[in-house]
Amino acid sequence: MSTINYVATNSTNALIDNNLVIATIYIAYALVGVCSLIGNVSVLLLVVVGREMLHSATNIFVGSLSATDLLITCVSHWATPYYTIRNNNWNLGSFMCYAVSAVQAASLMWSPFTLSAIAIDRYRSVSTMKSEKQCKLILNSLPKHLQVANYH
């Protein structure tokens, strides 16, 4: 083993052996996980059982993003710090190894796809506006520092 590899391995192990660092990592991941669960479940409930006016294409796409984030939170969010704290030792079984990898790969493909669909939907809604009144309404709803067009 080379000296550089030995030093890097020992410094990583020393950092992970520190109980304060471990507790901080677990607390940070727990806070992010709880916020993700609450936020994504709330969005899904609003989109699925919300009022009829919330059933637009954009909101369905946002619900799709929430479902993807919820899947990541439930399957792989907690496994990452567990694996890291255990000095990269995976002892959660082969099924969880494949499940975590599959969910992460699916999320990496689905989220950009959904964001692209949202962008296309927004482009179509803006480009097909019929009246100047609709344009003025949208421009007036933007904060003043984002209004770049003079529409007098």
* CATH fold for the domain made of 3-146: Rhopdopsin 7-helix transmembrane proteins (1.20.1070)
| pTM over cut 0.75 | no
Q: Which residue has the higher pLDDT, 35 or 55?
A: 35
Q: What is the DSSP string of 26-64?
A: HHHHHHHHHHHHHHHHHHHHHHHHS-GGG-SHHHHHHHH
Domain segments of the chain as ranges: 3-146
Please give the Cα distance from 128 to 140 (Å, whole number).
18
Tokens of 34: 């709880």
Q: How far apart (Å, rounded) are the C-alpha atoms in residues 10 and 22?
A: 16
Identify the sign of the CA torsion 34, 35, 37, 41.
positive
Q: Give the tokens for residue 26.
A: 């677990």
Which DSSP letter does residue 132 get? H
pLDDT at 5: 44
- Pick from 1-15, 31-45, 106-120 the range whose average pLDDT is largest: 31-45
Query: pLDDT, tens digit, for every residue of 140-150?
Result: 776 665 555 54
Question: Quick check: 65 and 111 in contact, CB under 8 A?
Answer: yes
Q: What percent of the chain has pLDDT over 90?
A: 22
Comparison of pLDDT for 6 and 29, the residue scoring more = 29
pLDDT surpassing 80 at residue 23? yes
Side chain identity, residue 65? L
- Measured CA to CA, the distance from residue 55 to residue 120 in angstroms comes to 17
pLDDT in the model for residue 3: 46
Buried b (16+ CB within 10 A) or exposed e, 5-44: eeeeeeeeeeebeeeeeeeebeeebeeeeeebeeebeebb
pLDDT of 52-80, one tens digit each? 777 788 888 899 999 999 999 999 888 88
Q: What is the mean pLDDT of the chain?
A: 79
Q: What is the chain's percent helix, strand, coil content, to nearest 5?
A: 80, 0, 20
Provide the 8-state DSSP code for 142: S
83-115 pLDDT tens trace: 877 777 788 889 988 999 899 899 889 988 988
**pLDDT number for residue 120:** 87
**Residue 2 confidence class, pLDDT cut points 50, 70, 90:** very low
